[in-house]
Amino acid sequence: MTSRNVSKTVVKRLPVYLRILDNLILRDVEIVSSRELSMESGFSAEQIRKDLAYFGAFGTRGTGYNTAYLRDKLLKIIGLDQKTKVIVIGAGHLGTALTRYNAVKNLYIDIVAVFDRDRRVVGQQIGHIRVLPFEKAPEIIRKHQVKVALITVPETSAQKVVDEITRHGITAILNFAPAKLHVPEDVHIQNSDLTIDLQSLIYYSTAEKERLSRLQKENEESKTQKQKILKID
């Protein structure tokens, strides 16, 4: 184990391993090899062994990994060994979906509160959680020492929301608004942009080669035309 900073790509795989272990434990499987984890996850066995080895030697040579033991270690590595407190800002459909899902399934996450600016939404229940007015956010963040926030508000208000909550102690944000938000240096922000995911998927929905060779031909034909467009436009 080296204690150099672990790369993002590795961190992104850890929760995948965690979920697989959860499922294995549910099925009373006690030992799992990197090869089996590879089949479940789609990552190579070498990569999995290397990922885990960043943090310690958790396996047994000749045998594999004890599922309960490895899960315990992964929880500590990711920081999920205590239930992590999370707030959700924005009680629209997306905010509701996220709240419902994470509140129902036990995913080591504790949704402390959901906030919205819209008076018509405030007071509604999402499962057992009541939607609070956004002005209450600072108080709740401080009281429960919440560090993590999910933002599902429209892009027009996203920056204001981020400014406000980072001021009161939020250090990690998962942002669903399609905007590049500015945060203080010590705050970690991660964007999840479903439209971009969808558009990049569409790239693969029709034959890539044909589309690109058609484009190439078009490019060649229009080398002269290009200048015209640039002038006219």
Partner DNA sequence: TAGATTGTTAATCGATTAACAATC
Interacting residues with DNA between 3 and 22 (CB under 7 A): 7-10
Complex with DNA: residue 55 or 108, whichever CB lies closer: 55
Complex with DNA: residue 8 or 120, whichever CB lies closer: 8
Select the residue interacting with a copy of itself from 60, 135, 168, 221 (CB under 8 A).
Answer: 60
Interacting residues with a copy of itself between 69 and 98 (CB under 8 A): 69, 73, 76-80, 84, 86, 92-94, 96-98
**Beta strand extents in 92-128 (DSSP E only):** 109-116, 125-126
138 binds DNA (CB under 7 A): no
Q: Could you give the CA distance from residue 24 to residue 30 in angstroms, rounded to a whole number?
A: 8
End-to-end CA distance of the chain: 59
The residues facing 132 across adjacent strands are: 115
128 binds a copy of itself (CB under 8 A): no
Q: Could you give the CA distance from residue 13 to residue 42 in angstroms, rounded to a whole number?
A: 11
The region of 62-70, 79-87, 91-99, 178-186 touching DNA under the rule CB under 7 A is 62-70
Give phi and psi for 10, each to the nearest 5: -65, -50
Dihedral Cα 172, 177, 180, 186, nearest 10 deg: -10
Q: Which residues bind DNA (CB under 7 A)?
A: 1, 7-10, 33-35, 43-47, 49-50, 52-53, 57-65
